[in-house]
Structure 1
Amino acid sequence: MTGDLKIEGYASLFWTRDLNDDVTAAGAFAQSLAAGAPVTMLHQHDEAEPIGVWDEVFEDAKGLFVRGRILRTTPRGTLVAALVEAGALDGLSIGFRQIKARQDGSLRVLKRVELWEVSVVTFPMLPGARLSVVSDQP
């Protein structure tokens, strides 16, 4: 296959506990997104080799939605695109800096974060953070 691989999915789901006992509050990404800083697409949080671009990153009622393209112009992008197409890789994970949070028992509630990147990963910390391939078919 040639050309960019279009993907989309939820990188974070509001009010959903992850495997690290973090919960993201609705609106946690709003200030970071409004600031306009780019959100990088990585593989397994490896900042050495970006694999594509996020064309859209926004919050809706459900969580943090991303839509972008894995670029096959690099060896890592080609590998990740092939793994996604084969169904071997479908997780999403966020890289961020905590700005404001509160502890609620064992839970850390993230109220405001600075979003740095969204990675395509094998094992997402939030099991429901999954991507799908965007079909070009109408």
Structure 2
Amino acid sequence: MDTTLEQRFARGAKVEGRELVGLAAPFGSETRIADFSEVIAAGAFAASLSSGRDVLALADHDPAKVLGRTSTGSLQLRETADGLEYRLTLPDTTTGNDLRALAARGDLGGVSFGFRAIRESWEGEVRTLHEVELHEVSIVQAWPAYAKTTVSLRSRQTTDDDRLAVLRHWLETCR
């Protein structure tokens, strides 16, 4: 099992008072990731969500900008027929208030999530995620590195040089 933390991006967040709500990961929708396509199977988050793991809500994948967490109830996650839904109560902090203002105007880039693949399958160039270990859900202020799809820290076949290049790109875009 590869322990590389991966990140995926989805668009859209709805503001309800101090809460952001939306779909962080759609099921059954094929998305292009670097040199392959990927589909998230229904139930892929079930084991992770039932494990009691403390999943963080972050701003732009920055662990210094915690917006909430499942252990306190400020981040709520659930699987539906559509995918992984989230409900995040924003903190009364500069970052929380800024994100709320951006969301109210429709200026947020979207939502991303960080995970490790636990069980996956391949059919040609299509990867299906059957079970993932969810680590974080991030509210993303800017556009993803790959328009309309994802930010990925791993492609299907990577070398150490490829990983360093992707990590370098990710670090530059997340500052």
Match of residue 91 from structure 1: 110
Of structures 1 and 2, the larger Rg is shown by: 2
| Superposition deviation, residue 19 in structure 1 | 3.3
Deviations 1:81-134 (A, max 9, x none): 221122110511111011111112222110100001111113357959xxxxxx
20-29 vs 115-124, which moves further: 115-124
Q: Which structure is higher in RCO with an 8 Å CA cutoff and minimum separation 6?
A: 1
Segments of structure 1 that go 5 or more residues without pairing to the other structure are 129-138
Q: What is the aligned counterpart of 1:72 among 92, 95, 101?
A: 92
Match of residue 27 from structure 2: 14
Aligned AA (2:55): V
Match of residue 101 from structure 1: 120
Match of residue 131 from structure 2: 112
Seen in structure 2, the aligned counterparts of structure 1 residues 126 and 35 have a Cα distance that, compared at 3 Å, is farther
Aligned CA RMSD, in angstroms, stands at 2.3
TM-score, scaled to structure 2? 0.64
Report the number of matched residues: 125
TM-score, scaled to structure 1? 0.79
Q: Which has the higher helix share?
A: 2
In 1, the alpha carbon distance for the partners of 2:147 and 2:111 equals 8
Q: Percent identity?
A: 38
Deviations 1:55-103 (A, max 9, x none): 3201111101111212122x22222222112211051111101111111
In 2, the alpha carbon distance for the partners of 1:79 and 1:11 equals 20
Given that 1:23 and 1:109 are in contact with CA atoms closer than 8 Å, whether structure 2 keeps it comes out as yes
